[in-house]
């Protein structure tokens, strides 16, 4: 009864937020609401006992993606363009698609029905045998990192490709910045953000520690490489936000972070190749060690580590390039203003 | 009537949870009723920190498991760090962007007469 009440409340809030997002013209508020939408979705996942997914959604949907949207808004402008066409046709298409989708769900088995195809196909094997075959307490990690390791490899490749895409589109070669200028900017920000800076300094070590905990505790509880990578990246974002991009660039070397992104995915692939060389199939961890269970543990540890490295560095690459672009725009604007003043 | 330790802890826990819930609601009422941004933020900031703290303390008293208590304690410490900082950041951003606090009713009336604009829901009492 209480579960039903929570479900109804959360879904109502979700619909409300979605309508608000569609109706708002102020993109800053829309980005804010998108973060709230992510948080509500995460709560809904928790209510549905999908803690791992909720974790990812809370870290990515409510945290990182909101921040990236803000960075983009600083480049594109804050308010939505006025709509020139009539939205009636779009509304019609959406209504028809929605009704067809709802019609499609009528044939589907009820939520949680034991005879649903999804519960009779491979799920029984995962649930019954994963403890003997993989030996990892968290079933989600066993499925994600061992049974479905190849799919996860694909996901990491997608993340890596996104990083490469951002680099190819937005990356600009920048000359080495003057240390004195960085110091000056740093000092001017220090007055402005004193309290935030001090609290951030206190929190960042704990955020990084928590990221490592999530990374290595994924076998026993919710967590794993994706979540850990995003949390790790968010600590670096926080630093960059409060101490300036240039200072953060000195802490996080850009060429090293690109190397780490590539090394992470290489590590994942190499685990697969090594298992092939040892006589198994691609990403079959049983052959990595003399004991199959130990091999599974080693394989999962290594690929999660690879996932964590790639996700964290790709997030950092995306953020730094988006924010760096904005910084360059501002500099160019300032120089133009100065030139214009001189001309006058 | 004698009270054993369990009953006392139970009562204390219920008391904390009740106070916490009341403060949550009062923060919600405050955000709707207060006249300007800063007072609203004050309502939410102060009650949120205290409300979350009270609820966490109440939950700690509910649970005999040491590990859970330690985890809740860590959440409490984090909340005590983060909530006031977030309020500070909000207030600072608002002030930085030139939003002035509304000081009293006469000022609201004056500014309304001067500008003839009602930019927010400031109603004279």
Q: Please state the three-class secondary structure of A75-92 as a single string.
A: HHCCECCCCCCCCHHHHH
At B106 the pLDDT is 61
Say yes or no: A149 and A281 in one domain: yes
Q: What is the pLDDT of residue A176?
A: 67
Distance of alpha carbon A229 from alpha carbon A156, whole angstroms: 11
Is the ipTM of this structure higher than 0.95?
no
Interchain CB distance below 8 Å, B82 and A196: no
Q: Which residues contact B15 (CB under 8 A, 6 or more apart)?
A: B58
Classify each residue of A41-62 as buried b or exposed e, where b means 16 or more C-beta atoms within 10 Å of its C-beta: bbbbbbeeebbbbbbbbbbbbb
Query: Which of B89, B90, B91 to probe the A interface (max A CBs under 10 A)?
Result: B89
pTM score, two decimals?
Answer: 0.82
Q: Report the alpha-carbon distance of residue A136 to residue A221 in Å, rounded.
A: 10
Best mutation target among A195, A201, A205, A213 (most B Cβ atoms within 10 Å) is A195
Cβ–Cβ below 8 Å for B82 and A195? no
Q: What is the pLDDT of residue A164?
A: 93
- Quick: pLDDT tens for A206-248: 999 999 998 988 888 888 888 999 999 999 998 988 888 888 8
A113, two tokens = 């029905």
Query: With an 8 Å Cβ cutoff, are B81 and A196 in contact?
Result: no
- Does residue A319 form part of some domain? yes
Query: Is there a domain that residue A154 lies in?
Result: yes
Whether the pLDDT of residue A17 is over 90: the answer is yes
Cβ distance A202 to B89 less than 8 Å, yes or no, reads: no
Which positions in chain B touch A202 (Cβ < 8 Å)?
A: 81
Does A92 reside within a domain? Answer: no
Residues A304 and A176 in one domain: yes
* Cα–Cα distance measured from residue A208 to residue A213, given in angstroms and rounded to the nearest whole number: 9
Task: Tell me which residue range forms the domain holding A265.
Answer: 135-337
Contacts of A93 (CB under 8 A, 6+ apart): none
| Residue B82 to residue A202, Cβ atoms within 8 A | no
A150 plus A35 within the same structural domain: no
Rounded to an integer, the average pLDDT of A66-83 is 83
Contacts of B36 (CB under 8 A, 6+ apart): B101, B102, B120, B122
Q: Which of A12-16, A130-134, A206-210, B20-24 has the lowest mean pLDDT?
A: A130-134
Judge if A304 and A198 occupy the same domain.
yes
Question: Residue A160: what pLDDT?
Answer: 94
Which residues of chain A approach chain B closer than 8 Å at the C-beta? Answer: 195-196, 199, 202-203, 206
User: Would residue A274 count as lying in a domain?
Assistant: yes
Nearest to residue A310, comparing CAs of A156, A153, A144? A156
Nearest CA among B75, B49, B72 for reference residue B60: B72
Checking if the pLDDT of B122 tops 50, the result is: no
Confirm whether A180 is domain-assigned. yes
Could you read off the pLDDT of A82-138 as tens digits, one per residue?
Answer: 777 778 888 899 999 999 999 998 888 887 788 887 778 888 888 888 888 888 888
Whether the per-residue pLDDT at B123 is higher than 70: the answer is no
pLDDT band at B102 (very low <50, low <70, confident <90, very high): confident
Q: Count of domains in chain A?
A: 2
Q: Chain centroid to CA A82: how far?
A: 31
A-chain residue closest to B78, CA distance: A203
Residues contacting A279, CB < 8 A, separation 6+: A287
Confidence of residue A79 (pLDDT cuts 50, 70, 90): confident
Model confidence pLDDT, tens digit, residues A156-201: 999 999 999 998 988 777 766 677 777 777 777 777 788 888 898 8
User: Do A174 and A300 reside in the same domain of the chain?
Assistant: yes
Q: What is the pLDDT of residue B115?
A: 55
One domain, residues A197 and A322: yes
pLDDT higher than threshold 60 for residue A61? yes
Domain assignment present for A329 = yes
- Mention every residue, 6+ apart, whose C-beta is less than 8 A from residue B38: B91, B94, B101
Pairwise CA distance, residues A218 & A215, whole Å: 6
Contact assessment for residue A321 and residue A171, using Cβ atoms and an 8 Å cutoff: yes
Question: Is residue B94 over pLDDT 60?
Answer: yes
Domain boundary among A54, A78, A102: A78
Show residues of chain B in contact with A195, CB under 8 Å: 85, 88
pLDDT range class, residue B104, cuts 50, 70, 90 = low
CA–CA dist A314, A164 (Å, integer): 8
Q: Nearest CA of chain B to the CA of A196: how many Å?
A: 6
Cβ–Cβ under 8 Å, residues A308 and A229: yes
Which residue from A80, A72, A77 is spatially nearest to A326, judged by alpha carbons?
A72
Distances (CA, A) of B69 to A315, B60, B74: 34, 5, 9
What residues have CB less than 8 Å from A182, skipping those under 6 apart?
A244, A246, A247, A250
Asked whether residue A115 is domain-assigned, the answer is no
Are residues A310 and A170 part of one domain?
yes
Same domain, A166 and A315: yes
**Half-sphere exposure of B38 toward its Cβ, with a 13 Å CA cutoff?**
12
Contact A320/A240 with Cβ under 8 angstroms?
yes
* A270 and A144 belong to one structural domain: yes
Q: Least CA distance to A207: which residue of chain B?
A: B78
Q: Is residue A43 domain-resident?
A: yes
How confident is residue A344, by pLDDT bands cut at 50, 70 and 90? low
Same domain, A25 and A148: no
Contact (CB<8Å) B81/A203: yes
């Amino acid at each position: 009864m209480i579960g039903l009440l929570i479900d109804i409340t959360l879904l109502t809030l979700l619909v409300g937020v979605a309508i608000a997002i569609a109706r708002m013209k102020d993109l800053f508020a829309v980005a804010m609401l998108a973060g709230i939408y992510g948080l509500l979705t995460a709560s809904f996942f928790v209510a549905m006992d999908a803690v791992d997914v909720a974790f990812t959604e809370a870290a990515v949907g409510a945290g990182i993606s909101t921040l990236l949207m803000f960075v983009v808004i600083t480049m594109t402008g804050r308010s939505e363009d006025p709509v020139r066409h009539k939205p009636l046709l779009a509304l019609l298409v959406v209504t028809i698609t929605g009704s067809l989708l709802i019609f499609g769900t009528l044939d589907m088995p009820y939520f949680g029905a034991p005879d649903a195809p999804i519960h009779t196909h491979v799920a029984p094997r995962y649930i019954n045998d994963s403890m003997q075959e993989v030996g990892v307490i968290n079933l989600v990690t066993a499925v994600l990192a061992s049974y479905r390791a190849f799919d996860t490899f694909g996901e990491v490749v997608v993340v890596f490709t996104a990083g490469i895409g951002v680099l190819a589109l937005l990356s600009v070669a920048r000359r080495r910045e003057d240390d004195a200028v960085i110091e000056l900017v740093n000092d001017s920000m220090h007055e402005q953000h004193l309290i935030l800076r001090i609290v951030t300094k206190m929190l960042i070590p704990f955020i990084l520690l928590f990221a490592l905990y999530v990374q290595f505790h994924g076998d026993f509880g919710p967590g794993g490489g994706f979540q850990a990578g995003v949390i790790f990246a968010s600590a670096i974002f926080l630093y960059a936000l409060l101490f300036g991009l240039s200072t953060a660039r000195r802490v996080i070397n850009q060429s090293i972070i690109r190397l780490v992104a590539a090394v992470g995915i290489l590590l994942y692939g190499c685990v697969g190749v090594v298992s092939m060389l040892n006589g198994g199939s691609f990403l079959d961890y049983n052959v990595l060690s003399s004991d199959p269970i130990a091999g599974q543990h080693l394989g999962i540890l290594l690929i999660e580590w690879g996932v964590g490295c790639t996700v964290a560095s790709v997030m950092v690459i995306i953020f730094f390039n988006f924010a760096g672009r904005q910084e360059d725009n501002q500099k160019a604007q300032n120089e133009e203003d100065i030139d214009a003043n001189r001309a006058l | 009537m004698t009270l054993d330790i369990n009953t006392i802890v139970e009562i204390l826990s219920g008391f904390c949870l009740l106070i916490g819930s009341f403060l949550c609601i009062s923060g919600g009422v405050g955000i709707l009723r207060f006249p300007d941004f800063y007072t609203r933020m004050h309502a939410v900031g102060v009650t949120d920190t205290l409300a979350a703290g009270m609820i966490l303390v109440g939950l700690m008293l509910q649970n005999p498991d040491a590990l859970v208590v330690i985890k809740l304690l860590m959440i409490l410490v984090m909340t005590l760090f983060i909530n006031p900082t977030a309020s500070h950041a909000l207030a600072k951003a608002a002030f930085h962007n030139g939003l002035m606090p509304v000081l009293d009713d006469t000022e609201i009336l004056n500014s309304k007469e001067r500008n003839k604009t009602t930019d927010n829901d400031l109603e004279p009492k």
